[in-house]
């Protein structure tokens, strides 16, 4: 967005001053381009006078802000084309923070459509300034020089720095440089990256006089009671103890938290005698397969779990067909869709989150989420005055900017209970915020904040973040790309052994095949890489 009708050649003739880009000078931006915290008023910042280099017959353009084009992988058809009230409020907020000369324009698309559009923009040399990427896109764009390293920019983004975690930052480095901006997390214990866990029908436990299971043995007893003892009291044997949907990522395994009770996760890397090995080849996996097969044969597990899609699992939950199911802490909140639909069908239903059951050795845990698993952003290599853009991002993570961007105007869209540190939304739904140009469409960095959820959902979030099994190696090695079918080999043996088609001893055959079909090379490379990072 070049102002004043200057041609590109003419612009290139203009000098840059300090770290200010040409575009910022053209825009006569008064916010300092040099480093400085965004919360300081601009008056305190030295204003470098822009040297006038009048071109012949060029009339000086009036001061105009740099308008950053932002493209988000997010569906919100309500979001107004002109940015609505949110746009006006954010510009006012920026000005108040001393950040003048910054404007933004947000475009939205979601899922496949988003990436199709992004790739089209990339191939036509018209990438927006700031946009969502996934890791393959990040890698490709970095190789093609389409996005810029953020390392220096982040040094001047103190608010962002406080909220992002190093594991996520590391996952978004490429060839030693930081190309991706991850989500941030507010500091409360319920604002962590892990949200998954077993949900339980607390009302079923209550109906049967049972307590929440803490150990694998107690878990097994609850599964039996939920299957055989008519927990919904309708006089029919029409329920299963345990349900799940097939994982959306083929790397993952259903009922991973049962493996967690043995201290491992099938696709995670665990240290054994100074070497990393994948959980699926460790002997504990065979023990878990035997246990799950036993539960399956006793009819405690929904037999359709291997082919169940998430939507179908939701239907089973809403239809009260499963008592414990793979879900998340969000499901505990009565305003969340699955819980809402369940309560509509069965008003007495009560969904809670279980701490993962612990095994004989006292271990327990749900697999930790992969680093930077959602909402990664990158800045175009051609972005005008990226320092200024980072100031916009950092302001949106500041005490002043964050609530406005995320929840709208205090006492109009939300109230804040400072003593309890809780946000009370006074709009009907997020959709109302989107329609006025606030919240997710304009969250320039996604910062996890769940202070608006009910207390019991927040307790569940704390539980989800407290008990996790860690993966010792998250990177991708060349051999993993060379042998992409290895996860499928595990899925096949897992499904056939658990459902009783194959005996548990077939796991030994799996281990042999694992090593002969790429696992040997993968394990070797993983250990080489891992040892480098340990030095
Ligand atoms: Ca029943």
For residues 346 and 484, membership in a common domain is answered with yes
pLDDT in tens, 345-355: 999 999 999 99
Question: Residues 25-32: what's their mean pLDDT?
Answer: 31
- Strand residue runs (E) in 282-427: 322-328, 351-354, 366-367, 376-379, 414-417, 422-425
Tell me how far the alpha carbon of residue 285 lies from the centroid of ligand 1, in angstroms.
Answer: 33
Q: What is the pLDDT of residue 249?
A: 81
Question: What is the SS3 assignment for 157-216?
Answer: CHHHHHHCCHHHHHHCEECCEECCECCEECCCHHHCCCCEEEEEEHHHHHHHCCCCCCEH
pLDDT score at 355: 97
Do 302 and 351 belong together in one domain? yes
Q: What percent of the chain has pLDDT over 90?
A: 82
Q: Are residues 172 and 281 in the same domain?
A: no
Question: Among residues 413, 448, 483, which one ends one of the domains?
Answer: 448
- Please check whether residues 295 and 334 belong to one and the same domain: yes
Please state the rounded mean pLDDT for residues 297-310: 97
> Confidence class of residue 43 from pLDDT cuts 50, 70 and 90?
very low
User: Is there a single domain that holds both residue 413 and residue 507?
Assistant: no
Together in a domain, 331 and 388: no
Same structural domain for residues 360 and 254? yes
Whether residue 218 is found in the same domain as residue 334: yes
164 and 224 inside one domain: no
Task: Tell me, yes or no, whether 280 lies in a domain.
Answer: yes
Percent over 70 (pLDDT), the chain = 88
84 & 150 share domain: yes
**How far away, in angstroms, is 205 Cα from ligand 1 center?**
13
SS3 category, 27: coil
Has residue 108 been placed in a domain?
A: yes
Q: Using the predicted structure, report yes or no on whether residue 16 has a pLDDT greater than 80.
A: no
Ligand 1 centre from 321 Cα, in Å?
A: 8
In a domain, 39, yes or no: no
Instruction: Tell me how far the alpha carbon of residue 232 lies from the centroid of ligand 1, in angstroms.
Output: 5
In a domain, 264, yes or no: yes
pLDDT at residue 243 is higher than 80: yes
| Distance between CA atoms of residues 81 and 205, nearest Å | 50
Within-domain flag for 328:
yes
User: Are residues 441 and 491 located together in one domain of the fold?
Assistant: no
d(CA 259, CA 270): 13
Q: Does 25 reside within a domain?
A: no
Q: How many angstroms does the Cα of residue 515 sit away from the middle of ligand 1? A: 46
450-504: pLDDT as tens digits: 999 999 999 999 999 999 999 999 988 899 989 999 999 999 999 999 999 999 9
Q: What is the mean pLDDT of the chain?
A: 89
* Separation of CA 228 and ligand 1 centre (Å): 8
Predicted local confidence at residue 485, as pLDDT: 93
The predicted pLDDT at position 5 comes to 32
- 327 and 215 fall within a common domain: yes
Q: What is the pLDDT of residue 391?
A: 97
Distance from C-alpha of 168 to C-alpha of 449, rounded to nearest angstrom = 17
Task: Quote the pLDDT of residue 1.
Answer: 30
Indicate which CATH number applies to the domain containing 320.
3.40.190.10
Number of domains in the chain: 2
Q: Find the domain containing 431 and state its range.
A: 69-189+375-448
Least confident range of 22-31, 202-211, 380-389 = 22-31
Predicted confidence at residue 535, as pLDDT, reads 61
CA of 322 to the centre of ligand 1 (A): 10
Q: What is the pLDDT of residue 61?
A: 52
Q: Residue 365 has which token pair?
A: 């845990």
Q: Which CA distances in Å does 416 have to 144, 215, 239, 309, 398?
A: 45, 39, 42, 39, 16
Cα atoms in the Cβ-side hemisphere of radius 13 Å centred on 395: 28
- Spacing, Cα 339 to ligand 1 middle (Å): 20
Residue with tokens 């436990």: 205
pLDDT tens for each residue of 121-135:
999 999 999 999 998
> What pLDDT digit, counting tens, does each position of 407-464 carry?
999 999 999 999 999 999 999 989 999 999 999 999 999 999 999 999 999 999 999 9
Distance CA 480, CA 269 (A): 13
147-188 confidence digits (pLDDT tens): 999 999 999 999 999 999 999 999 999 989 999 999 999 999
Nearest residue to 180 (alpha-carbon basis) of 230, 236, 134 = 134
């Amino acid at each position: 967005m070049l102002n004043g009708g200057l041609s590109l050649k003419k612009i290139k003739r203009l000098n840059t001053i300090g770290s200010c880009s040409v575009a910022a000078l053209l825009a006569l931006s008064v916010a300092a381009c040099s480093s400085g915290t965004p919360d300081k008023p601009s008056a305190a910042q030295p204003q470098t006078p822009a040297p006038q280099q009048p071109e012949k017959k060029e009339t000086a353009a009036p001061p105009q802000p740099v308008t950053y084009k932002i493209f988000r992988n997010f569906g919100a058809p309500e979001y107004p084309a002109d940015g609505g009230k949110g746009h006006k409020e954010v510009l006012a907020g920026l000005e108040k923070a001393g950040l003048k000369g910054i404007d933004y324009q947000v475009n939205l698309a979601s899922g496949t459509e988003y990436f199709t559009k992004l790739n089209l923009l990339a191939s036509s040399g018209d990438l927006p300034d700031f946009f969502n990427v996934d890791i393959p896109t990040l890698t490709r764009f970095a190789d093609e020089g389409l996005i810029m390293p953020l390392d220096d920019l982040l040094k001047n983004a103190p608010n962002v720095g406080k909220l992002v975690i190093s594991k996520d930052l590391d996952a978004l480095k490429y060839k030693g440089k930081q190309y991706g901006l991850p989500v941030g997390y507010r500091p409360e214990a319920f604002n962590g990256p892990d949200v998954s866990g077993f949900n339980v029908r607390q009302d079923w436990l209550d109906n049967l006089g049972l307590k929440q299971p803490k150990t694998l043995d107690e878990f097994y007893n609850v599964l039996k009671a939920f299957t055989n003892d008519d927990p919904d009291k309708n006089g029919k044997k029409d329920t299963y103890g345990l349900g799940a949907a097939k994982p959306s990522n083929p790397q993952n395994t259903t009922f991973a938290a049962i493996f967690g009770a043995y201290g491992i996760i099938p696709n995670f890397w665990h240290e054994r005698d100074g070497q990393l090995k994948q959980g699926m080849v460790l002997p504990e996996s065979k023990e878990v397969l035997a246990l799950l097969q036993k539960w399956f044969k006793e009819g405690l597990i929904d037999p359709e779990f291997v082919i169940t899609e998430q939507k179908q699992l939701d239907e089973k939950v809403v239809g009260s067909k499963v008592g414990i199911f793979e879900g998340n802490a969000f499901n505990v909140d009565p305003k969340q869709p699955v819980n809402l639909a369940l309560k509509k069908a069965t008003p007495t239903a009560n969904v809670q989150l279980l701490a993962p059951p612990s095994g004989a050795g006292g271990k327990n845990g749900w697999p930790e989420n992969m680093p930077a698993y959602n909402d990664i952003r990158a800045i175009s290599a051609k972005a005008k005055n990226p320092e200024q853009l980072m100031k916009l991002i950092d302001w949106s993570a500041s005490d002043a900017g964050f609530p406005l961007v995320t929840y709208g105007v205090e006492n109009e869209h939300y109230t804040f209970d400072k003593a309890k540190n809780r946000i009370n939304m006074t709009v009907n739904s997020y959709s109302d915020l989107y329609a006025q140009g606030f919240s997710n469409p304009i969250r320039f960095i996604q910062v996890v904040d769940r202070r608006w959820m009910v207390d019991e959902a927040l307790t569940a979030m704390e539980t989800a973040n407290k008990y996790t099994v860690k993966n010792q190696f998250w990177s991708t090695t060349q051999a993993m790309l060379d042998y992409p079918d290895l996860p499928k080999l595990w899925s096949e043996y897992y499904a056939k052994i658990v459902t009783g088609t194959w005996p548990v001893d077939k796991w030994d055959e799996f281990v042999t095949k694992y090593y002969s079909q790429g696992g040997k090379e993968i394990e070797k490379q993983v250990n080489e890489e891992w040892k480098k990072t340990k030095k």
